[in-house]
Structure 1
Amino acid sequence: MRRDLDDIHHFAQAIHSEQFMSRYLPYGDNYEQMVTNALVWKIILVENSATGVIWLDKTETINEVVLGIMLFSPTQFGKGIGQAAIKLVIDELQTIKWAGLIKLNVRIENERAIACYQRLGFDVTGAGSKYTHGKQISYLSMVNLLQS
């Protein structure tokens, strides 16, 4: 994953990721911290080509993680790639009998992502806003409770 960081930064800039998300990597100031903070951190491959990145950040609460995902090109949006990647991560968690909350925040205007998350069992639990990248961003908070 370390060698993929430069590519991930490049793709995030190329798609102007700040329009879609507040961050595009697990929490951490450096690679080692990101690895430590992520329960899961994977490159999304489609036909052996890197298409995106998905991760689950650990939180201070046991059995609670925060989902993050970024696809590298707008041409990949709306094709089910993100949904399939999230489903694979959820399936992996269920295989290892992990139980807990998967949380996320999604920008209110990102209706396609909201619908995707709802199809995967996420429920809206609240709304909020924050100031990031020089503007006010409104978002929905969503959770999916996985049971072993």
Structure 2
Amino acid sequence: MQQLNRALESDRLYLRPLVSEDSDMYYPNMLNEEVRRLTGTQRVFSKQMIENYIEEIQNETDRIHLLIVLKEEDRIIGEVALQDIDYVNRNSNIRVALFNEADFSKGFGTEALKLLLNYGFGVLNLHRIELNVYSYNARAIKAYEKLGFIQEGIQREVLYYNHEYHDSITMSILENEFRKKEGIK
């Protein structure tokens, strides 16, 4: 795969924009049962819907949607996004998803989040970044806490998935908390 537009880079990963040509790779990942469960995805997508989505997000100014690529293999392993960027109040929502269970628990999601948090606070001058995580995703909660996210609240039984109700946990990190955690002055 061509290494195009390396937007952000770490030792093991680089992040790059999602482009139209990625729809063939992106679509099957929307069918992965474990990824769907962890993200609470219930809607079924057609290939055309995915193509339209990719086209649509390329023109949005309040979203930065990037693919996570493992440098060593030049292999796409997931996605990370800053969404609903509010430039006036300097806040945003962040999300991350890895596409393959073989890549879970290796720190890739945490590493990608750290790159995007650094960009959000350092370049976009955001003050607060939040996320939502379902209560059954203990691995993700642990990773978010490791990055410095703090639990703010719980939306009780907000997700009905697989015949059960689940809570959604809201977590956030402020710019000064991130800087302190990362040793940035």
Band of TM-score, shorter chain: 0.7 to 0.9
Instruction: Pick one of 100, 108, 115 that aligns with 2:127.
Output: 100
TM normalised by structure 1 equals 0.82
**Does structure 2 retain, via aligned residues, the 8 Å contact 1:122–1:143?**
yes
Instruction: Pick one of 77, 85, 100 that aligns with 2:104.
Output: 77
**Does structure 1 retain, via aligned residues, the 8 Å contact 2:66–2:80?**
yes
Matched, 1:34 2:34: no
Measured on the aligned residues, the alpha-carbon RMSD in Å equals: 2.3
TM normalised by structure 2 equals 0.68
Give the C-alpha shift of residue 143 in structure 1.
0.5
Matched, 1:145 2:146: no
**Does structure 2 retain, via aligned residues, the 8 Å contact 1:18–1:133?**
no
**Does structure 1 retain, via aligned residues, the 8 Å contact 2:121–2:127?**
no
The match for 1:9 is 27
Aligned length: 143
Q: Which runs of 4+ in 1 moved over 4 A?
A: 132-135
Q: Deviations over 1:35-62 (max 9, x none)?
A: 3165321110112110101101125673
Identify unmatched segments of 5+ residues in structure 1. Answer: 24-28
Larger Rg: 2
Identify unmatched segments of 5+ residues in structure 2. Answer: 1-18, 42-51, 180-185
Q: Deviations over 1:106-147 (max 9, x none)?
A: 111111110110111100000113234564221211011124
Q: Deviations over 1:71-104 (max 9, x none)?
A: 0101111000000000111122233151221111
CA distance in 1, matches of 2:31, 2:153: 29
**Amino acid of the residue matched to residue 30 of structure 1?**
Y
Match runs of 1:56-75 below 5 Å: 56-59=82-85, 62-75=89-102
**Does structure 2 retain, via aligned residues, the 8 Å contact 1:38–1:55?**
no
Report % sequence identity.
22
The match for 1:26 is none
CA distance in 1, matches of 2:61, 2:160: 22
CA distance in 1, matches of 2:91, 2:121: 14
**Does structure 2 retain, via aligned residues, the 8 Å contact 1:15–1:72?**
no
CA distance in 2, matches of 1:118, 1:69: 14
